Structure 1
Amino acid sequence: MRILHTSDWHIGRTFHGNSTMDALAEVLGALTEQVRENAVDVVVVAGDVFDSATPSGAAYTLLGDALVSLHETGARVIVTSGNHDSAARLGFQARLLREGIHVLTDPLAVGVPVTIADPEGPVHFFGIPYLEPAIVRQHWPEGDSSGRQLRTQAQTMAHAMDLVRAGMREHEGRSVAIAHCFAAGVDATVGLEREVRQGGLDVVPLSVFDGPDYVALGHIHGRQQISERVRYAGAPLHYSFGEQDKPRGSWLVELDAEGLATVEWLELPVPRRLVTLTGSLGEILAADTVAAHADDWVCAVYTDAVPQSEPMRRLRESYPHCAMVQHQPAAVAEVEEKSYVQRLRSAVTDADRIEAFLEHVRAGHGPTEVEHELIRAVLDERVRAEALV
């Protein structure tokens, strides 16, 4: 059996105020072609289908079009809900969907598989929707196997996987678990979901996922292999500049009669590249740099000593898709290790106070010679004006 593992579509998310709907539709079209070309039997979408608990009508339309297109390839489709999804809204139309499309959003059905057979026998797919402990512990008031109340993501996911393993014992054959969480062992540089907390409470130990032949995870936006059988596919689009160098795609998983056989990465196209350009504003606006990146999403980090006038307007004249601009001076002048308040208190003249202020707001850069002259002229004019009163 061939399974395509994808996740974190985030239908409806914007990129620095720009819609991603058309780009996502293009990428999901390419994913559908991969399903057809590779004779995929089952497509698994591991949560965060939508970016919002209240998706727009256009977001529902895109999801519907994508599911229908995938179904028309002959593949079965299994979708679970993530932390961005409203399980109720995503699952509302589950009964109305055509045969072969399964939307799994009910925590109480975690141990009940969707069973799909191939020539080697049945494969049982156990869908685990995103489990927020404070919300779902009402379903399991008895707590975990030790009788502890479910207070953390790790405890809640461990209990859910216990239910999955109980379901596996009742249903012989190969098995796949689908979950949406932050698993221990994730490389934090791959593009973490923006709401993932870095503390220990939300980290799920790898051992929790023991049992199934393959575990399809969602929640982070970069490809990740936690173990041979536990993986993240990441998001199909780049949703932040921090993800710009990370590949986009999905895992093609093949099960043979014994279980997991092979896993292959399938690259997806990137509709518009993301680049970060660093240098002085003049260097970033140089003709050769513009020619190379005029069609890209651009994050401009300019390193001039002082802030430049209207940098975004000037950048967008050359880079129509400049989405972000940051001022990061190349070098910070060495200043006394005093707080701004301490420097003000030690200042003797008004000119000293102005210099301290400029150093504070310019990351250590004081006034230029021209600014020194202007400050002296203004202060002299003030003294003359006070003398006339």
Structure 2
Amino acid sequence: MIQLRLAACLVGLLFTIAQTVHADGLVLNVGYLRLEEPPRPVLSNLDPIPEDRGIAGAALGRSDNATTGQFLGHSYTMDVVSLPPDGDVVDAARTMLAASRVVILDMPAGALLQVADLPEAQGALLFNVTAQDARLRDGDCRANLLHARPELAMEADALMQVMLAKRWGKIALIEGPTPEDAALAQAYRTSARKFGLKIVSDKAWTFDTDLRRAAATEVPLFTQGFKKHDVILVADAHDDFARYIEHNTWEPRPVIGSTGLQALAWSPVVEQWGAAQLQSRFEDQSARRMWPRDYAAWAAMRSIGEAVTRTGQTTPDALRSYILSDAFELAAFQGRALSYRAWNGQLRQPIPVVNARAQVAAAPLDGFEHARNPLDSLGLDQPESACTAFGE
């Protein structure tokens, strides 16, 4: 009888606490500001870009936060503003920051810095889910800007680790014609030097012919002059011509980088560690597959939710301090807990290395160690970074 009374009292106490927490519940409004990308002419239209790319990932993250938050009296709202390519991002950011001090930014590096440097953004917490530029994690870092999207160097390093493990030591590099292609090619060159791989041929792609008709004749001629190589690495940031290189080369070699074997922050073929369940929930919500930008936006929103859950606070300073602390961990269906680098705000994550139908590896591979965290073997490490805004 005494035990029953104690149990009843305990249940009553827990119910009272739950009511009190819910009555004093926290509400966090997260802003999502997107600067739309102008359409680019590409050779193939087989892979259209979803209109809600990024936004759909954040929406799933908000839903996941709400599922956890309902037991704690925490609720989350999301305001989305999507600007045309010529929209006034500064004016829109000022309006959004007046309504929310926690904002997810989906835009190129230049626009990101414009927003992060606004007086209204000082003391806010901003998340980059798009730009992979090295400078944002280096000399152009900002203390109020965290990066849920991997930098290019992280993906390049993941690919090089796999090549090293497979003993593909000699690389023929093809670089596309755009500035984004040049940045990707430079990331590959830097990573190849880091891991002791050799680029034996380095050639610019200058064709403007319709490869849908001419690939079988043009590509063999283009690749015929390559020095002896184990693999062809293609830097095609816009997914324009790379697909026509594979299976059309002069010598039968693996084609990797922007086609074939790829290092991506996320891919529909990732199935382990509960990833299939995340993929399924995303498809149920959005009627399509999850893209890397969706995953970055989901991770940003979940990082926010995890910080609110653990701290019981919604102020940007409290959330930022916890997210950058050693205590923060995000379970994100990658087989390892994700965390943020305290010296430049980059999210640490494993990088899946995949082909069109299966995951081949997850970097960092076994044997690639690091004094602090194996995930720091990918991308810009603290001694290499010129970022001083974080005070580390």
Task: Specify the TM-score bucket, using the shorter chain as the normaliser.
Answer: under 0.3
Bigger strand fraction: 1
Bigger helix fraction: 2
TM-score, with structure 1 as normaliser: 0.26
Which of structures 1 and 2 has the larger relative contact order (alpha carbons within 8 angstroms, sep 6+)? 2
TM-score, with structure 2 as normaliser: 0.26
